[in-house]
Structure 1
Amino acid sequence: MCLELVSILYDSNKLLPREASFYQNAIQAIEEDGTSSQFYFLLKQQGRLDQTPAFFQQFLKQQYEQSLFLNLFIKQQTEQLLKCFESQEIAVIPLKGVYFAEKYFGHTGARATSDIDLLIKQSDVNKAIQLINSLGFYVEEEQIPGHFHCSFSKPLPNSTIPLVVELHWSLVKEQTSRFSIEEIWQQATHIGQSNYIHEMSPNHTFYTICLHGWRHNMNSMKYFFDILQVIQHDHQELDLVEIFQLAQSHETFKRMHRTLSIVYLQFPFLEIMMKYPLKKRRTLWAYRPVKGFKMYLDFLDYQFLSYDKVKHSVIELGNWLWPSKYEMSNELDLHAQGASEGKMLLTLYKKRISGIFNRVSKSL
């Protein structure tokens, strides 16, 4: 239903539904996915917000205003950080966040964000960490072998939620690809008059946004919004053939093909804007499937069969069966510090098994 509403936003030939029940059902999914800002801004930009029920408009506006306030604060904090990186001569690329919202959605508040993600060069990691620490941020998540980022937090006055900065030196696990971050840096361009603040090329922006959506199995409308907005903004500059050639060299081809097949099958009108150069791959993916084993078959396809090499699938299977403490804490949604690894693993397996039984019982 919500993907239908997304489709209407990008297809001028489609009319907005009139039934109040449609919008009542949409509110829960929009709130869970954190996409109120995207819906509000795009509907208002198109002059179609008034064509929706008053309660739906009120819901979107209230959520949008809350996100806008936070985004403005995060933008101010991001600008301070980038000035420090510039002064310390540390090359940096802001990832997603408020700059992405402004460039691809057209407004600071058009895409909610909650933290600051920065891409740096691996040779600058220690220097960047020292800079972050000097600005009052403490370690939230340390560097983990096989991963490509670490995070830092800073308490905020009158808030129980700290400001989080994630430093990335790559974007894909080394063990399951031949991803080369150097190519992204080589084609990155300076932002404004800065010497050390960069932005990715259009091809690389699209490539990394798609890989980000794949990493979450496109389980939220926000990943569709990001991909659709980049296509809409950059379709005349994007070269899908070149992007897939890059993915082949990085051994991320299946990830890209799966992700974009899902997007193009959901939104066929994209062919008019930017033709898909491959035969689309059919998957069992569905937006929030709630019954039966279809969800688990899709999970297996995504989790273990999205890799270009068998050895990468085997490595990922091993990582899933015996995840790191960090990965377990993410899946269990708890803080790993001080927790027993053995107890966490047992809790994780209990959660997975109970989830399977719950799905089976719902399908009977």
Structure 2
Amino acid sequence: MNPSLLQVLYDSQIELPIDSTYYWKLLNEIEKSNSHAQTYTIMKQGGRLEATPAFFQQELKEKYQTVIFQNILFKNQTNRILREFEERRIEIIPLKGTGFAERHFGHLGARPTSDIDLLIKPTDMNQAIDIVKSLGYKEERKQIPFHFHGSYNKVLPGSPIPLTVELHWDIVKQNTANFSIEELWKETSSLNGSLYIKQLSNFHLFYMICLHGWRHNMDSLKYFIDIIQLILNLDIDFKRLLEDANRHKTRKRIVRTLSIVYHQLPILHLVKEFPKVVSTSYDQRNTSIKKYVDFIDYSFLSYDSPKHSLIEFYHWLHPKY
């Protein structure tokens, strides 16, 4: 059996195939998840890229270079916004983005960025909205009740796609967990010596990335790669993770997400054992019925509290809520 992309990226004991057909299929898989830059960077860092066909290398390199140019724009725009918050003495945390690519993948162009995600304290949201609007961003749509972010767009000269800023005041829906965002803020640290620009602790970064992957039902390889990179690069306290998730009523979400990741890349058990791996329906998404079962499991059964499941079911029936 040919290795999966995750095995190619992270399992150095796996022998790379020589059949060019395999690499065309791999490129198709990479295209679906827009993970060319991550694949190029990780394979190059691991010394495996040179063992692949020239057409495969060229395709990855071209997309990687495109990501570099895009991320330079995102970084410049992000820094402009952050400077405004620093000058106005409002605390802010950039989430994911180009900083995440640089710190955890090793290069600005190692991971594509689609928007600018920023975490603001709920009490500062009105001022934050005023700042992004003063920089030319317009509200994309009215904020959804009980959700945790609002979107603001700006049209850039020569670009067919507007630049989007998402202002977050939380990382989970407030009425489907017992999580207090203040816990996260208490463990932040200064970013590059700034007084008001903060960064998440490694622990809360991992927590957020897992919840982010869960929220998208791990429907793209990019969510796997983000989580795996952090497992490899950070020393995450899984005992604390499960204890906190239990308090926050997010334990099922965390366990489900990490179980899927460990099932897809078993070599992770040798890197850092996750103590609560459970069986999931993720591997069985190959038929319509099994996809439906997985959707039900993800949408309504991965909540710790029956009350939270019922609330999410109500939100599903009434999307505007």
Q: Does the alignment reach a TM-score above 0.5? A: yes
Please give the alpha-carbon distance, in whole angstroms, between the structure 1 residues aligned to 2:163 and 2:319. 27
Distance 1:141 1:181 in 2: 24
Is residue 2:271 matched to residue 1:273? Answer: yes
Find the counterpart in structure 2 of residue 329 from structure 1.
Answer: none
Tell me the distance in 2 between the aligned counterparts of 1:226 and 1:62: 22
- Cα 1:292–1:151, aligned 2, differ >3 Å: closer, same or farther? closer
1:152-178 Cα shifts (integer Å, max 9, x gaps): 111101112111110000010011111
State the distance in 2 between where 1:29 and 1:264 align: 20
- CA positional deviation for 1:3: 7.5
% same residue: 49
Secondary structure of residue in 2 paired with 1:293: helix
Match of 1:203 in 2: 203
- What is the root-mean-square deviation in Å for CA atoms of aligned residues? 1.5
- Alignment match of 2:249 (pick from 248, 251, 260): 251
Q: Determine if contact 2:3/2:14 at 8 Å carries over to the other structure.
A: no
Count of residues in Structure 1 that have an aligned counterpart in Structure 2: 321
SS where residue 157 of structure 1 aligns?
A: coil
Q: Secondary structure at the match of 2:274?
A: coil
Q: 1: CA distance between counterparts of 2:143 and 2:97?
A: 22
Matches within 5 A, 1:72-83: 72-83=72-83
Counterpart of 2:257, as a letter, is T
- Identify which of 292, 297, 300 aligns with 2:296: 300
Secondary structure of the residue that 1:141 maps to in structure 2?
A: coil
**Partner of 1:134 in structure 2?**
134
CA contact (8 A) 1:118 1:165 kept: yes
Distance 1:72 1:64 in 2: 13
Q: 2:283 is paired with a residue of what secondary structure?
A: coil
8 A Cα contact 1:3 1:221, kept in partner: no
1:1-364 equivalences under 5 Å are 4-235=4-235, 238-278=236-276, 280-286=277-283, 289-324=285-320
Alpha-carbon separation, structure 2, partners of 1:197 and 1:114: 21
Task: Report the 3-state secondary structure (helix = DSSP H, G, I; strand = E; otherwise coil) of the residue aligned with 1:165.
Answer: strand
Between 1:268-277 and 1:103-112, the stretch displaced more is 268-277
Q: Distance in 1 between matches of 2:271 and 2:138?
A: 45
Instruction: Name the amino acid aligned to 1:143.
Output: Q
Shift in Å, 1:55: 1.3
Q: Deviations over 1:276-307 (max 9, x none)?
A: 122x21111138x3424111111111111000
SS of 1:118 mapped into structure 2? strand
Distance 2:283 2:34 in 1: 19
Give the deviation of 1:8 after TM superposition: 2.6
Instruction: Tell whether the 8 Å contact from 2:300 to 2:313 is kept in structure 1 after alignment.
Output: yes
**Offset from partner CA, 1:294-341 (integer Å, 9 cap, x none):** 11111111111000011111111121122218xxxxxxxxxxxxxxxx
**Which deviates more, 43-52 or 31-40?**
43-52
After superposition, the C-alpha distances for 1:88-131 in whole angstroms (9 at most, x for unaligned) are 11111111110000000000000001210000100000000111
Unaligned runs of 5+ in 2: none
1:231 maps to amino acid: I
Q: Give ranges in structure 1 of 5+ residues lacking alignment.
A: 326-364
Whether contact under 8 Å (1:2, 1:29) holds in the other structure is no
Aligned counterparts of 1:12 and 1:48: Cα–Cα separation in 2 = 8
1:2·1:30 contact (CA, 8 Å) conserved in 2? no
